[in-house]
Structure 1
Amino acid sequence: MNGQEWHKKTIVLFDLDGTLTDPGIGITNSVMYALKNFGIDVEDRSRLYKFIGPPLSQSFERFYGFSPEDARAAVEAYRVYFSDKGIFENTVFEGIQALLKTLKSQNKVLALATSKPEVYALRILEHFHLAEYFDLVCGSLLGGERTDKGEVIAWAMHRMTAEQGIEHPEASAVMVGDREHDMIGAKRNHIPAIGVLFGYGSREELSEAGAWELAETVDDLYLHLTGEVYQGGAL
């Protein structure tokens, strides 16, 4: 799809971590806290950036060889730090609020589709004054259900039909995210996806996962989704 046509999409699904906000400090501090419970010290936080995006339990298993039981225990330890401190050790990428405001002025339907538990995602959106722009907030459950991004997107599509009365929302939707999981999850739901390069995924990762378009900057994403060039200035 030509980049100039993305603005015709009337439904936009956004990933959270690495797409709307930069959670690098909070997530890595939370992972460090969890790993210390297993006697593992990590001094270079950049080694933990790979935890940003994928489901946590999968990351503890994949990157540290944890058993499913230990991975679940690590996630619980992670949440001890994250729910109190790490959740707000986070910043909104510059220009994101302007993008969301413009999309809503164009009467787009906006949904958050994140592997993060919905309760945390909503707290983050409210804390950074972004919740008002979203029609739906879709994520995982604290019990570990619905962590796969494809499942999250499918849940968002179901809710759009059930709550918004939108028939076949996938025909009008585009997914925006910074990791391969966003691209793969969108493909499973027959939705095109834009990969953003200002987050934590590489150009190679996103391209190989099937991104239809890549946005180098928030300004690029603004142009793709709104059809307008961001002029800057106060909101």
Structure 2
Amino acid sequence: MRNILFDLDGTLTDSSEGIVRCLQYALEKLSLECPTPAELHAHIGPPVRNALGLIMKTDDDDLIEEALRLYRVRFSETGIYENRVYEGIPETLSALSASSRRLFVATSKPLVFTERILNHFQLTDYFDAIFGSELSGKLDNKVELIRHVLSSTALAPDETLMIGDRMYDIIGARENGCLSIGVTYGFGSEEELRGAGANLICKSPLEIAEHFSAE
């Protein structure tokens, strides 16, 4: 497989601390009941805008947008760095880069935040290009995002593979004719990933490297 797309949250970095704390901040500022950290953790993966609607049990767009604004107030200054790179990711990216494969990031997180995170952790140089959503929500659907990546880079779907930790990554790959690897060290379960149709399951970043070294 020549081209590899990586999700960010739950695949390259463990962003759970920052995301949960920013969700708590937004809900507290709105004087709304806040679920437990474990309950909030279960909402990591889909776009934050969607997660907030589910957490607050509302389809009130104005309320969701205000909660998102508050979330981003804290995230842009503090939450963005309450984050860590998964053990083995730098080594895996280095090995894949050395094998002449092309690496890309494809995340529903806004591109402006994604670039800051990758720069902060010195991961940017491993990737040919970085793709994320816009602050407006455009391209935060993984099917649309991967379609955009393929069209922007002229990558062949049958030579492109998506690696991610949630069903959205797997479905996005499948709907665009790409293979996928589901990783269980992130925020999704093996059951979720297999149910979505992942072609392979890896339990650690080093398993990803081992898979490609055996090709």
The question of a shared fold, defined as TM-score above 0.5 by the shorter chain, is answered with yes
**Partner of residue 115 from structure 2, selected from 107, 118, 122:** 122
**Partner of residue 26 from structure 1, selected from 13, 18, 33:** 18
Partner of 2:86: 93
Q: What letter matches 1:38 in structure 2? A: L
Count the aligned residue pairs: 214
**Partner of residue 55 from structure 1, selected from 41, 44, 47:** 47
Partner of 1:209: 196
Kept after mapping to 1: 8 A contact 2:158/2:179:
no
1:43–1:58 distance in 2 versus 1, CA, 3 Å: closer
Q: Please provide the CA RMSD for this pair.
A: 1.4
Kept after mapping to 2: 8 A contact 1:19/1:196:
yes
**Partner of residue 61 from structure 2, selected from 65, 68, 81:** 68
Please show how residues 1-235 of structure 1 align to structure 2 within 5 Å: 9-42=1-34, 44-66=36-58, 67-161=60-154, 166=155, 169-227=156-214
1:97–1:70 distance in 2 versus 1, CA, 3 Å: same
Q: What letter matches 1:187 in structure 2? A: R
TM-score normalised over the length of structure 2: 0.95
Deviation, structure 1 residue 58: 1.2
Deviation, structure 1 residue 44: 2.9
Q: What letter matches 2:27 in structure 1? A: L
- Name the SS for the 2:144 alignment partner: helix
- Name the SS for the 2:105 alignment partner: strand
5+ long unaligned stretches in structure 1: 1-8, 229-235
**C-alpha separation in 2, matches of 1:93 and 1:160:** 27
**C-alpha separation in 2, matches of 1:68 and 1:227:** 48
Deviation, structure 1 residue 63: 2.9
Runs of 4+ in 1 over 6 A off after TM superposition: none
Deviation, structure 1 residue 41: 4.5
Kept after mapping to 2: 8 A contact 1:15/1:112:
yes
**C-alpha separation in 1, matches of 2:148 and 2:192:** 25
5+ long unaligned stretches in structure 2: none
Kept after mapping to 1: 8 A contact 2:4/2:103:
yes
